[in-house]
Chain A
Amino acid sequence: MKFIKRLLLTGIKKSPWLLHFDCGSCNGCDIETLAVLTPVYDAERFGVINVGNPKHADIFLVTGTVNRKNQEILNNLYLQIPEPKVILAVGTCALSGGIFAEAPNVIGGVDKIIPVDIYIPGCPPKPEAILEGVLKSVELLEDKVKNGKI
């Protein structure tokens, strides 16, 4: 049993799959996020794959503000990610609403709708910062597995 748990732990540590959701960003954060996957930063070194499907994801990376139209989508996607999962808010917008906070349709940061584990500030954050966030979330994932959250 212990051995199996060890295997699972290594698995979760080394293969965090990432779902990237553009919640209403100006695309600045998205470009930086995608840059993480390019040869320069190559997130796949750490086993990170950008999946297009919440059902396969471990890390939920959200950029941009939440507005009234997409809050439900955000929530749905969040619900569809199987446990254990970590939510990453990338960019000032995702943290608080940023420069769009005053807009009438904007609700605010991502954490107004779903619980956020890791905040990465910046407008946009540097790819290094995003990568570090992803690696931080791997540790969180590991903790979750250790604490028996699966």
Chain B
Amino acid sequence: MPMFLKLFLFLLSPFAIGVILGIDRKLTAYLQSRIGPPIFQPFYDLFKLLGKESKTSDYWLSFCAYVYLCGAITCAFLFFLQADLLLIFFVQAVGSIFLVLGAFSVSSPFSQIGGQRELFQIIAYEPLLIAVIVGIYLVTGSFEISSIYKLNYPLLAKLPLLFLILTFALTIKLRKSPFDISASHHAHQEIVRGVFTEYSGSYLAIVELAHWFELVFILGLISLFWANSFFMSTILVFLTYFLEIIVDNITSRLTWRFMLKNAWSVGIILALINLIWLYKG
């Protein structure tokens, strides 16, 4: 791919994510037999938040929000440059850590608990993502994304279990039910909005935007599983996301203990099995 095309795609990606999130809300509404918001609703929310006053309860919030954004943009950008996957993963961690740090800097119990839980989410999905990346390495012999595009068969064929794990990690990363533990969209009574409680106005917008860029990376990772055909990779992304929405709607929240236990036992064991296939195969 020529450079300008990559750049173009990169600039386009947040819009695509916005639309996907809009479709998400529409579909969710459909599943609840509602009409739901317009497809561009996420953009409206974003614009509105950008225009609003922000109530700062700690100056660090602004610092952390912007570092989160910078980290997420870098991560997405590196992805389009087809850089080293593991590196992209670590850059992604910068953003998620700073989100938590911002939540920690306020002494409100809601954001504190949200931060702690977000950390548990992080340690639940991080090993899984590393396992997936290692699996990709074992297939292609390189950590660079560009090497995946050189394969003439889909990665999915070799990494079925790791794909499953990736969707598991995706649910946790998206904070979708049943793993909407640190910041749920619905259960306002419990910890309000968890990590996001104290981010308000434009900071919330920045955090939201950063989350979109993070999604670029995660959904991109999914698209890599059928990288040799553009059409199929798009289908795969949409299918996975659709499943994600269904799961979101038919499950209720579980505790972080459950999440951690399963991510660490079931997830790691499945990863191990798949890696052994590759290693011996």
Q: List residues of A whose CB falls within 8 A of some B CB.
A: 7-8, 10-15, 39, 42, 44-47, 50-53, 55-56, 58, 80, 82-84, 145, 150
Decide if B29 touches A7 in the complex (CB within 8 Å).
Answer: no
How many inter-chain residue pairs (CB < 8 Å) link A and B?
Answer: 90
Residues of A within 8 A of B49 (CB): 11
A84 in contact with B192 (CB, 8 Å): no
**Per-residue interface assignment for chain B, residues 46 to 58, with 1 indicating a CB less than 8 Å from any chain A CB and 0 otherwise:** 1111111111000
Contact B54 A82 (CB under 8 A): yes
A44–B185 alpha-carbon span in the complex (Å): 14
Distance from A71 Cβ to chain B, minimum over Cβ atoms (Å): 21
On chain A, the residues within 8 Å of B154 by CB distance are none
**Is A44 a contact partner of B29 (Cβ separation < 8 A)?**
yes
A82 in contact with B37 (CB, 8 Å) = no
A7 to B44, CA, bound (A): 8
CB distance from A123 to the nearest CB of B (A): 26
The one of A39, A50, A83 in contact with B53, judged by C-beta atoms closer than 8 angstroms, is: A83
* B152 at the binding interface (Cβ < 8 Å): no
Contact across chains for A8 and B41 when beta carbons are under 8 A apart: no
A55 touching B198, Cβ below 8 Å: yes
Which residue of chain B has its CB nearest to the CB of A41?
B34
Q: How many chain B residues touch the partner (CB < 8 A)?
A: 34
Contact between B29 and A42 (Cβ–Cβ < 8 Å)?
yes
Q: Looking at the assembled complex, report how far the CB atom of A75 sits from the nearest CB atom of chain B, in whole angstroms.
A: 15
Q: How far is the CA of A15 from the CA of B52 in the complex (A)?
A: 12
Chain B residues with CB under 8 A of A46 = 37
Contact A58 B54 (CB under 8 A): no
A53 contact set on B, CB distance < 8 A: 188, 192-193, 197
| Residues in A whose Cβ lies below 8 Å from that of B51 | 8, 11-12, 145, 150
Report chain B residues within 8 Å CB of A58.
Answer: 48, 52
Write the nearest CB–CB distance from A148 to chain B, whole angstroms: 11
Q: Give 18 A-B pairs besides A12-B48, A14-B48 with Cβ atoms closer than 8 angstroms.
A: A11-B44, A11-B48, A11-B49, A14-B44, A15-B44, A42-B35, A44-B35, A47-B44, A50-B188, A51-B193, A52-B192, A55-B200, A56-B200, A82-B54, A82-B55, A84-B52, A84-B53, A145-B51
**Minimum distance in angstroms from B126 CB to a CB of chain A:** 28
